[in-house]
Each structure stands twice: as structure tokens, then as C-alpha cells.
């Protein structure tokens, strides 16, 4: 399980490849890791017939050293979902993987788009400030049911902090001297890259900023010889879903997040 702390709240993240019994055992072992520090270990023989949570899960719960756990699952993994619900996890969010091939870019959207973007390697305060206004309902960052914006901003800051230390390119769209939109793209091996976060300021939505930002980003990534861009998108964000379809994205690998406040 991956652990990190945000605004005094200890968060645990359980990817799909982690069986739930191993996650609980790792939690009980203690030790606070940072984002990306995998503490789960081997699944061993602790896996129960209920999809990963053993019969003594309740007994172990008292030793869990996190305040909330987000567990990811395949929507068709009935056994894992049953186990999560038995453990009082509730459905939180669904994302899909959008992939855009960079070998050939074209079409009416690219022809009419104003694709002027600024490209850099660093994340500045303007990116953080815009992000804090751009995700009022996005469950990737709103872990609390009441949409606590201050806490969501703290989660966003932790998320951006993490990726700002990776090999990334930051694409910016500037309108009348102000940052109107950005994307953060992580470069990977084999010609692939991932759009880990993108946003347009609510002040400038509906002005073609997103189209110009994304077409400019894709053209630049193509010029670098990269082969494809991928990224996970919340299915509640229909504006982003539709934009990526217009850009030629193919969707696959839906994943559901379940959440449990310990």
C-alpha cells in the first residue's frame, strides 16, 4: 500500500495489483512512506476467499495506521468489490484510460485550433493556484464526502508536488498575460508519456483555450518523437471526455475507486 499524509490526514492507496489482506497487514506493520513508496509486500497466504480480506480483518483494523484508504479495482472484479463493500468501503469514483496516438495528428480540430503554448520543465505557483480553482467536484482530489475544498487543495498540492519531482514537461496557455490553462506530462520509456494533470481556469472556459492547449501539446510531443499520450480521466468530467474524443483518444481499462474512512 502506498501511504502519504495530507493536511494531517494519513492516506493509504491500494492499487489493483495489491490484494487487500496484504494491504491490511502492511498497514498494521506501521511506517509512514511517501507518495510512491510501496509498502505492501508479498500477498502470501493471508488471502481469503472473499477477494483478499481474511476472516480476521476486523481484528486487524484497529492497528491500521491510516485515516482513509482508497482501493482501486476492476469494475468487473465482483469478488474484490464484494470484499470491499463487506469492509465498509463505498464507491467513490470511476476513471477510464484515454490514449492518443501521436504518429499522425490531423483533422478539423487541429486545423482551426490556435495552438500557441509555452513549454517548460518546472511547476510554478501559478499552476498550483489555477489547479485549486479547476476541480470543484473531482473525486480524485475530493476524498471527503462534503467536498471540503481546503482539503482537496491539500491533496492537489501533494499530487503536484510529487509529479514536479519527476521527468515532466509543463505546457501553459497564457491569455492576456495570465495563465489560462496547463497540462503536466510525465515522460516515460519507450516513447510513451502520460498527462498526469490538466486544467483550464474557470475564468477562461468556453474560449477555445483547452483545444489550443491540447493541440499544441500534442504537436510538441509528436515533434519529440514520442509515440502516444495516455491519461486517466474521471467519467464525471464530460468536458474532458469529449475533448479527448475530439482529439482522437481511444478509451479502455476502466477502474473504480472505493473509499473507506477508518
Closest to 182 (Cα-Cα) out of 149, 210, 154: 210
Instruction: Identify the pLDDT of residue 108.
Output: 76
Instruction: Identify the pLDDT of residue 24.
Output: 57
Instruction: Give one DSSP letter per residue of 96-109, joined into a string.
Output: EEEEEE-SS--SHH
Cell numbers describing residue 188: 516515460
| Domain regions of the chain by residue span | 2-88, 96-254
Instruction: Identify the pLDDT of residue 49.
Output: 30
> Each residue of 49-105: pLDDT tens digit?
333 333 333 434 444 678 999 999 999 999 999 999 998 999 999 999 999 999 988
* CATH superfamily of the domain spanning 96-254: Gcn5-related N-acetyltransferase (GNAT) (3.40.630.30)
Please give the Cα distance from 159 to 53 (Å, whole number). Answer: 28
pLDDT < 50 regions, the chain: 26-27, 30-63
| 228-234 and 90-101 beta bridge pairing | antiparallel
Instruction: Identify the pLDDT of residue 75.
Output: 97
Instruction: Identify the pLDDT of residue 55.
Output: 33
Q: Could you count the other beta carbons within 10 Å of the beta carbon of residue 49?
A: 10
Q: CB of 149 within 8 A of CB of 201?
A: no
Reported residue count of the chain is 262
Please give the Cα distance from 149 to 240 (Å, whole number). Answer: 21
Amino acid at each position: 500500500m502506498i501511504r502519504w499524509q495530507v493536511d494531517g490526514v494519513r492516506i493509504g492507496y491500494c492499487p489493483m495489483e495489491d490484494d487487500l489482506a496484504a494491504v491490511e497487514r502492511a498497514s498494521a506493520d506501521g511506517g509512514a512512506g511517501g507518495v510512491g513508496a510501496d509498502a505492501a509486500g508479498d500477498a502470501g497466504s493471508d488471502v481469503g476467499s472473499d477477494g483478499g480480506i481474511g476472516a480476521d480483518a476486523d481484528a486487524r483494523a484497529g492497528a491500521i495506521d491510516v485515516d482513509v484508504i482508497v482501493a482501486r479495482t476492476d469494475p468487473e472484479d465482483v469478488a474484490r468489490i464484494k470484499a470491499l463493500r463487506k469492509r465498509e468501503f463505498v464507491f467513490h469514483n470511476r476513471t477510464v484510460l484515454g490514449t492518443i496516438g501521436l504518429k499522425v495528428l490531423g483533422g478539423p480540430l487541429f486545423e482551426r485550433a490556435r495552438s500557441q503554448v509555452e513549454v517548460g520543465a518546472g511547476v510554478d505557483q501559478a499552476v498550483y493556484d489555477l489547479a485549486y480553482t479547476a476541480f470543484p467536484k473531482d473525486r480524485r482530489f475530493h476524498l471527503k464526502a462534503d467536498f471540503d475544498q481546503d482539503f482537496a487543495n491539500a491533496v492537489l498540492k501533494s499530487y503536484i508536488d510529487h509529479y514536479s519531482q519527476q521527468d515532466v514537461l509543463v505546457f501553459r496557455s497564457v491569455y492576456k498575460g495570465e495563465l489560462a490553462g496547463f497540462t503536466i506530462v510525465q515522460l516515460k520509456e519507450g516513447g510513451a508519456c502520460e498527462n498526469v494533470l490538466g486544467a483550464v481556469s474557470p475564468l477562461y472556459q468556453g474560449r477555445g483555450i483547452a483545444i489550443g492547449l491540447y493541440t499544441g501539446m500534442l504537436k510538441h510531443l509528436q515533434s519529440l518523437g514520442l509515440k502516444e499520450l495516455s491519461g486517466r480521466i474521471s467519467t464525471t468530467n464530460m468536458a474532458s471526455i469529449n475533448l479527448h474524443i475530439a482529439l482522437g483518444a481511444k478509451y479502455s481499462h476502466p477502474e473504480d475507486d472505493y473509499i473507506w474512512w477508518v
